[in-house]
Structure 1
Amino acid sequence: MNLFSLIYKRIERGIVPVLLLIGWEIFSRSGVLPAALLPAPSQVLVAWADWIFGTDGNTQTYSGRWFFDVLHSFWRVLAGFTLAGLLGVALGMGIGWSRTIEKLIEPILQMLRPIPPVSWIPLAIIWFGIADRPAIFLVFLGAFFPVLLSTIHGVRNCDRNLLRAGAMTGGKPRMLLRHIVFPAALPSIFSGLRIAVGSAWMLTVTAEMVAVKSGVGYVLWDSYYFLRYDIVISAMASIGLLGFLSDLAIKRFAGHVLRWQRGSVLNAN
């Protein structure tokens, strides 16, 4: 591999984003739209830097508070996502393994699944008030079904020959679930978790725009009212960055857990 190819492989993923930013900067400064309606990336970067580090106070009450806002949002994502992961995997294992559990539980879950999580916002506010709990509830709803369905899929696609072999060696159902079915379902479970964490961030921001008075989503909505679109875009970029890092963390953890499975979707670039 020559030097040019090595350099290209290092920078190829950044080519399109850089070109988009350059085009955005040129368009914003062309005067086609007022600068206040479409801030240039350089202006957004200045606002974002002040929001994070409190550099010059141009974001006023938000100055230097980015880490606090992120911490509030991250806590809501973590709480709702963890609850959804635990319950989704447990129910998914049960539904995928037992026809009785499937007949008892799956119909009601399939009725609830098409209901958009955002439609629960009025009830969440009535039930939990204006605080963390409605946001955590909405995150749970958004993250639960991807984990549930992926787990069911993973259990039902477990190699039957492995189950027969386990049963022939005297394995009880609990042992088969623990040592054969669950490991076989892990690739599907991690795929569901990666989908779920994206939904978790989306629902957290939605809840913070309506039912919570803190977090990145609240800053986004509040700055919109004051026509600070540079802060709005900074908040959007923050959400994208946090979602990317969350997905990357799950992907890396899955790669560590699934070392025995090479070439899977989870390990794909």
Structure 2
Amino acid sequence: MTPAQLMHQRRTAAASGWGSGVAVFFGSARRALIAIGALLLVWWAVTDGTGLISNVRFPSPSETWVAWQQILLEGYSSARWHEHVIRSVTLVTVGFVVASSLGVALGLAMGSSRTIEALVNPAFLFLRPIPPLAWIPLAIVWLGLGDSAKVMVIFVAAFVPSVINSFSGVRQIDKPLLEASAMLDVKGWRYWKEVLIPGALPSIFTGLRLSLQASWTTLVAAELVGAVAGLGQILNQGAQDIYTAMILVGMISVALCGWLMTLALGWIEGRVMPWRAQ
């Protein structure tokens, strides 16, 4: 194969990966929008439509829309909606990226080296059962009530799934592939680039999805204490004001942000592994 043919093949593969990633992104978005539309219809039917559920117990779509307009235009709990969203998304992104980067690297290292596993795994197994929320008091003592404490708690929550799944991904690589790489004397960075990382990628992305979910769950809990702004603060203030419509706005906002970030992660997965695109 000539260099020109090789370059053409690489460009074609890259274009195919891009197209597959876009298809996965919009396919997932379309299915989610259909599900959301059906949910909204049921919600309206049991509240405004039939009165089956009292608005005192659960807000109707119209009440929730009024609350959303309030936080969009006037603000609520010292900030407007986009300011709450930006603050929460920033915290999640920082904690998730740092935790997943270190977690994947540690998981790959533990999976590829029995020595590293023997040194690290006992401490990891000891700390793993501690719930991420149990770190909140210690994070406050160490770092105060600022964003650093929240990022620390998110880091703890996202770190564990990325380590476990990366480690499992390496251990699930076919043994003949590892034997072939040893026979061909594939070592060092080349071994990681051509054998370990590609073989563990499906499990790595599974861990990243779990880490992202854990990040959002932990963020909301962390923002219930000492937050100036954020989606968790909306929920906290709404509960104090007994403002159920605003509580629902906060919950929907968390779901929306988490969904969009999950779609983005799915797009990256389709770009990196186009052969897995549905």
TM-score range for the pair, normalised by the shorter chain length: 0.7 to 0.9
Structure 2 unmatched ranges of 5 or more: 1-28
| Number of the residue aligned with 2:213 | 198
Residues 88 and 159 (structure 1), Cα distance of their counterparts in 2 relative to 1, 3 Å cut = same
Is residue 240 of structure 1 aligned with residue 241 of structure 2?
no
Partner of 2:175: 160
**Deviation for aligned residue 1:112:** 1.1
Q: Distance in 2 between matches of 1:214 and 1:182?
A: 39
Q: Which aligned pairs between 1:173-188 and structure 2 lie closer than 5 A?
A: 173-188=188-203
* Match 2:223 to one of 195, 208, 216: 208
Q: Which residue of 2 aligns with 1:44?
A: 64
Q: TM-score, normalised by structure 1?
A: 0.85
| Pair 90,237 (structure 1): closer, same or farther in 2 beyond 3 Å | same
- The one-letter amino acid of 1:99's match is R
Distance in 2 (alpha carbons) for counterparts of 1:42 and 1:97: 56
Matched with 2:7 is: none
What's the offset of the Cα at 1:44? 0.6
Which residue does 1:3 correspond to in 2?
Answer: none
Once the two structures are superposed, residues 15-49 of structure 1 have per-residue CA deviations (whole angstroms, 9 ceiling, x without a partner) of 65444433333433456665243110121122213
CA contact (8 A) 2:77 2:237 kept: no
Aligned length in residues: 249
Kept after mapping to 2: 8 A contact 1:134/1:211: no
Q: Distance in 1 between matches of 2:267 and 2:178?
A: 29
Query: 1:151: which partner in 2?
Result: 166
Match of 1:4? Answer: none
Q: What is the CA–CA distance in structure 2 between the aligned matches of 1:46 and 1:237, rounded to whole Å?
A: 14
Distance change >3 Å, CA 180–CA 60, structure 1 → 2: closer
Cα drift, residue 11 of structure 1: 8.0
* Higher mean displacement: 114-123 or 40-49: 40-49
For structure 1, the residue ranges without an aligned partner over 5 or more in a row are 1-9
8 Å CA contact 2:78, 2:229 repeated in 1: no
Distance 1:127 1:12 in 2: 44
Q: What is residue 116 of structure 1 aligned with on the other side?
A: 131
Distance (Å, rounded) in 1 between the aligned partners of 2:161 and 2:213: 10
Q: Does the 8 A contact of 1:146 with 1:196 survive in 2?
A: yes
Q: Structure 2: how far apart are the matches of 1:79 and 1:19?
A: 34
1:69 equivalenced with 2:84 (yes/no): yes
In 2, Cα distance between equivalents of 1:103 and 1:166: 24
The equivalent of 1:227 in structure 2 is 242
1:22 maps to which of 35, 41, 56: 41
Deviations 1:91-149 (Å, cap 9, x if unpaired)?
A: 10111011111111111111211111111111111111011011101111111111111
Whether the 8 Å contact between 2:209 and 2:265 is mirrored in structure 1 is yes
Q: Is the 8 A contact 1:48 1:231 kept in 2?
A: yes
Q: Give the % identical residues.
A: 36
CA distance in 2, matches of 1:33, 1:251: 36
More relative contact order, 1 or 2 (CA 8 Å, 6+ apart): 2
Q: Report the CA distance between 1:164 and its aligned residue.
A: 2.2
Match of 2:145 in 1: 130
Answer yes or no: is the 8 Å Cα contact 1:80–1:139 preserved in 2: yes
TM-score scaled to structure 2, two decimals?
A: 0.82
Change (3 A) 1:181 1:19: closer
- 3-state DSSP of counterpart to 2:224: helix
Cα distance, 1:160–1:36 mapped onto 2, change above 3 Å: same
Q: CA deviation at 1:166?
A: 2.1
Shift in CA distance, 113/40, structure 1 to aligned 2, threshold 3 Å: same
The amino acid across from 1:51 in the alignment is I
CA RMSD, 1 decimal? 2.2
